Amino acid sequence: MFKGSIVAIVTPFSAAKSSGSLTVDEKRLRQLIDFQIKNGTSGIVPCGTTGESATLNFDEHEAVIRITIEQVKKRVPVIAGTGSNSTQEAIMLTQQAAKAGADASLQVSPYYNRPTQKGLYEHFKAIAQSVKIPIILYNIAGRTGVNIEPETIARLAKDCKNIVAVKEASGSLDQMSRIKLLCPKGFDLIAGDDSLTLPILSIGGIGIISVVANIVPADVAALVAAFAKGDIKKAQELHFKLLPLIKAVFLETNPIPVKTAMGLLGMCEAGLRLPMCSMSDDNLDKLKKALKDYGLL
């Protein structure tokens, strides 16, 4: 259900004429969703890291997920980002998304709190028990301060039947291999780093929750599809084609570069909410060069 190229979609903002404050651009969000599906994207993740979930209030969070579900119209799965460092908030957001019709929930590990492995287990178990929809764990210690150890993931996969996959953004293929080794059959490994899509597919991963797919969805989808068909040469060619662009969209903290790129390409306004800010001039020049080299700008 969750294989292929899944986009962690940006939340487009527009500046209010009266105040200049940034508000969610519903029309543009709907257009971006259609663009993704038209270009082979297999799933949509609203309100993830790339969607600036940390600076959306609860009403906006609910609205972005609802709009995404409405616009997708069951064409592909919607995996709603509903994690929090508060277990009760995560339960509330996840129940809200399930009621709205989300196909699954993406649950980032609690940030700032730095819970123990026991705390992580109890946190995710409580969320899983509160809903019937599938749960995908999101492991990204670089942004949360805590790693979900493979043993903890395996325990959750065995004890909670609706915890079905992990988005792995640890950067460690060793850790990902251990997850595949320890977890029950049918528990899915999904890449969380665009540059590691092909390596993760090679150890049994089923796809990518992608940032760069916001601007080149067809190529990311083609890479995963080529590997699935056994066309390793084509998958490798696409991997190396994408690599310089991937590096460029991570020159600064995500989603600063990818949203800047989308602004340069006329896909949406490049507006970011503080504490996200505009790129440095030096990195902006590097990003523009990468877009030109790729043939986009």
Residue 72, both tokens = 């997708």
DSSP 54-120: GG--HHHHHHHHHHHHHHHTTSS-BEEE---SSHHHHHHHHHHHHHHT-SEEEEEPPPSS---HHHH
- Cβ(149)–Cβ(178) below 8 Å: no
Q: Which residues contact 43 (CB under 8 A, 6 or more apart)?
A: 2, 4, 6, 7, 76, 77, 78, 79, 103
CA gap 36, 27 in Å, rounded: 15
d(CA 171, CA 175): 8
Q: Residues 3, 111, 138, 259: which is the catalytic one?
A: 138
Active site residue 234: no
Strands 4-8 and 43-45: parallel
For residues 68 and 44, is the Cβ–Cβ distance under 8 A? yes
Cα 110 to its chain centre, rounded Å, is 16
Stretch (H or E) spanning 29 = helix 26-38
Known catalytic residue: 167?
A: yes
- Residues 112, 121, 167, 289: which is the catalytic one? 167
Q: How far apart are the first and last CA of the chain?
A: 34
Give catalytic residue positions: 138, 167
